[in-house]
Chain A
Amino acid sequence: MKKWRQSLRLLPLFLAALALSGCGKEGVSALKPEGEVAKEQASLMLISLLIMIVVVLVVGFLFTYAMIKYRKRPGQEDYIPKQVEGNTKLELTWTIIPIILLCILAVPTISKTFALSDNNTSKKSDVLKIKVTGHQFWWEFEYPDQKITTAQDLYIPVGKKVEFDITSKDLIHAFWVPALGGKQDANPGQTNHLWLKADKEGTYKGRCAELCGSSHALMYFNVKAVSDKEFKHWVKDMKAGMKSAPDKDRVLTASAKQGEEVFKNNCMSCHAVGNKGGQIGPNLTNFADRDNIGGFEKHTKSEVKKWIKDPESIKPGAKMPKFGKKLTDDQINALADYLFTLSVKQ
């Protein structure tokens, strides 16, 4: 075949090099790993990719050579090629070499798989435990040792091993933070384990990776890796926030006060603020400190009002009922004002 097809064979190599040199957005992409687990996984990908590129090149070369050299040329109509049955030596070669390559690949495969699954060797004081629960279509995070419950924004300290116990309240989800490491399924009635570590401060995008219904594509969360000091501070603030009932210690404007009433009458059967309220929806104790509405929309009052009026316009299939007709615009404005006072930052 033509020459350019030969160069086409090299295209995957070129693109692969390009990709591994850093593709995608920081904090989102698995190709820009920011934690120990993700880095180990990226190096595994690289090792396997290199072996595989060798395979593709060898096959590609033989293939291209055969196609060009042995193509039919004009005037060869009567030529009958030699009918070769096989060749034991050659056949053994291409059986044994792949076996050797796979044995080489099997070593890091086995060791890394065990290393990354290893959960219980560290001392208890060295790790942070977090219980993750998947819901249609949001994430709940519980810090059992700190007695904190929150949702959507996950705070972790940089440089510390974080062990996740992952489960689901309804159906199968999968917990994935590509920049920090691989995913783990959240199965109903079962707890899975995963550990991650962030090397750098920053916000990492997390997402659901197992089809879980209409808004599977919108089940984002944020992982906020902060310094150890900042994390301790946050824990203290959250603990205070969790203990106090929502009406205490807050100076509210008139509108926010009205919003608080609306909240008590309409929202508290599902949402908790502090230690009061239902557990069906996300805990809103630090709502005002979060990055996004619903995990991905801008964190503004107008977005939250849109959400309250019709959650399904933002997340199809969301469980929260529409409040657009039940509440007046005034009440919704007041509610939004109130929600934006829910901060634990001091």
Chain B
Amino acid sequence: MSVNAESLMQPNQKNGLFSWLKTWLTTVDHKKIAVLYLFGGGLFFLIGGIEAMLIRLQLTAPENHFLTGSAYNQVLTMHGTTMIFFVAMPMIFAFMNAVVPLQIGARDVAFPFVNALGFWLFFLGGIILNLSWFLGGAPEAGWTAYAPLSTEYLGRGMDFYVLGLQVAGAGTLMGGINFLVTIINMRAPGMTFMRMPLFTWTAFVTSALILFAFPALTVGLFEIFFDRLFGGNFFNATNGGNSIIFEHIFWIFGHPEVYILILPSFGILSEVISTFSKKRLFGYHSMVFATILIGFLAFMVWVHHMFTVGLGPIANTIFALATMAIAVPTGIKIFNWIFTMWGGQIRFTTANLYAVSFIPTFVMGGVTGVMLAIPAADFQFQDSYFVVAHFHYVIVGGVILGLFAGLYYWWPKMFGRCLNETLGKINFWFFFIGFHVTFFPQHFLGLMGMPRRYFTYLPGEHLTTLNVVSSIGAIGMAIGVITLVVNIVYTFVKGEKAEGDAWGTGRTLEWSIPSPAPEYNFAQTPLVKGIDTYWKEKMDGNKKVTAAEPLGDVHMPSPSIMPFLMSISLTIVSFGFIFSDKGVHRTVSFAVAGIGIAMMLGCMLVRSIKDDSGFHIHKEEIIETEKGMSK
């Protein structure tokens, strides 16, 4: 039951749609969950992309009446929220699921059941949020949802935001804990921490950041929730609350969040550049050190989002210096990548095009980051299009380029087929050039006096030309993304079958097993002899990685529908609270929420009582499977 094109695209002929659905709803296999994350995130990516196009369409002309006021605020809020929480996050989890267990020589993650639960919570959280479009309007306070705008001035859309993110956030937190435990406990013999591939390292640090950052979001969302539903007054200044507190809570989560997003992309880059330069990663130790340092500093800089709040020059300069310090480990990484290519033999596959184009793009986003760290100058930059340009350079030019590199790089390992290179290159050039044309002019728009989150600008303020250029660039990006979708469909239908070592120069353990990986991953747990252990074995003339155990039966966890049911229960709870208006209506909606909570507790009870020790794949079966698989 490996993940491949056939099983994904069409239901099993014998058992029909029901069986296909059952497979995907009940799976606890990290490789299948990776596919779910990838396509779940992909779906939201298309929705968020359409929202971005609507924004650019509105801003193409001054005083345009296409999308104004509240409607525009809804679109911009949903664009930001979707792209951060429901695109970047699941894509990262997709690759962590698909790759980390394979890179450390494990057969699954530490908690396969929790892994599935994490996915379904994320997915239904996204569905809850997006249903707001059809049930009275989307949230409109920006992805930051500052109080008291979000608590006292807006309607039901904000309840969708609070509960959708709360559900999805719980899933993310579980995922983070799961990967921490997996990486600490499930490494193959010989896979010491300082032999772990860099993507696994970044997944590890990212998971740690999730563990410490997401609880802050949970608390902030609960406070908004109480303010909105029960008159909590946490953020109501007239009743003794303080709205600044929410900004602190949000950014104590929010800043680590952007590093949660970028670190795995750093990891992907380290893998891709090294593989396609046919060289080991330059300065592995300093790369690991830089990753940890960035993760550590992530929690010390949140006030740079709040320089104009009025915290005073002392607080502002302390956080300014901490922020600048981050440039040092990031610089170390950039130079290490360049020197990985130095003296190597660089192949420009689509994956590597995305990876190398990341370097100059991210440097540009990084230097504007240092500029933004200067409080006195930031008073001009803050909340202007300069900031919009900066964070799109680091999130699209950084996170997304990295994720696309990973997509092309690991697609054969996930699906057994290589994405088409010609379509891939068309996709890359449209997306890359379109990206720069869209966002480079926005630096200047900001300095010329255009604040972010403006649904329009006045004619005669010299803002029109650059806005038009920006919108034209967005069309380029859209063409790039459409080409990617075409490529994916084409590959499922006609794609070339991939070998185990799909690129021929694979270095890490995932390339030592067939593509796609069999259900049990490794027929025999590998013995790791050093950094890039598969490359070492190849250089020593071995076709296979040395095994650490004799061939035997493999124990597997059973599939379960419980994660899906639990997530449905929490969705019911959410809808109960979302529709709890004051008055008679309230009793009904609280009853609905109560039913959801009861269902959740019921599921937990069943899960606790039912004794499920999984199943075994027998030795003979494994030998049979290994024979039949492409190598």
Contacts from A to B (Cβ < 8 Å): 1, 9, 12, 15, 19, 23-25, 28-31, 38, 40-42, 44-45, 48-49, 52, 55-56, 59-60, 62-63, 66-67, 70-72, 76, 79-87, 90-91, 94-95, 98-99, 102, 105-106, 108-110, 112-117, 136, 170-172, 174, 176, 178-179, 181-185, 187-190, 192-193, 205, 207-218, 220, 296, 316-317
Contact = CB atoms under 8 A, between A and B. Distances in A.
A189 B284 CA distance: 51
Given A28-B448, A48-B370, A110-B317, 15 more contacts: A30-B447, A31-B448, A49-B371, A62-B335, A71-B346, A84-B282, A86-B282, A86-B286, A105-B324, A109-B321, A114-B317, A117-B316, A208-B451, A211-B149, A317-B69
A24 B308 contact: no
B399 interface: no
Main secondary structure of the interface of A (DSSP, over half): mixed
Contacts of A190: 237, 242, 244, 310
A86 B288 CA distance: 13
Contacts of B378: 182
20 contacts: A25-B462, A48-B370, A52-B371, A60-B363, A66-B342, A67-B341, A71-B345, A79-B278, A83-B279, A84-B282, A86-B282, A102-B370, A174-B382, A178-B448, A185-B308, A187-B244, A189-B237, A216-B454, A216-B455, A217-B451
B73 A214 contact: yes
A55 B367 contact: yes
A184 B310 contact: yes
Interface centre among A38, A40, A49, A183 (most CB of B within 10 A): A183
Interface string B356-368: 1001100110011
Contact of A30 (B73, B141, B364, B448): B448
B447 A24 contact: yes
A216 B383 CA distance: 12
B628 interface: no
Q: Which A-B residue pairs are the 9 nearest by beta carbons? A: A182-B379, A189-B237, A316-B69, A24-B448, A52-B367, A192-B310, A217-B454, A214-B69, A86-B283
Given A59-B359, A211-B142, A185 B310 contact: yes
Interface string B437-467: 0001001100111010111111011110000
A240 B68 CA distance: 41
B449 A52 contact: no
Interface string B321-364: 10011011001101110110111111110000000100110011
Nearest to B353: A1
A113 B382 contact: no
A109 B374 contact: yes
B379 A72 contact: no
Contact of A81 (B142, B152, B343, B539): B343
B320 A188 contact: no
A63 B149 contact: no
B340 to A, nearest CB: 9
A207 B449 contact: yes
Contact of B345 (A19, A81, A112, A185): A81
B343 A82 contact: yes
Contact of B310 (A42, A108, A187): A187
A83 B308 CA distance: 49
A29 B456 contact: no
B563 interface: no
B220 to A, nearest CB: 15
Given A214-B69, A317-B69, A29 B380 contact: no
A217 B456 contact: yes
Contacts of A85: 280, 282-284
Contacts of B267: none
Contacts of B588: none
Contacts of A15: 440, 444
B376 interface: yes
B136 interface: no
Nearest to B337: A63
B455 A217 contact: yes
Given A19-B444, A106-B321, A67 B356 contact: yes
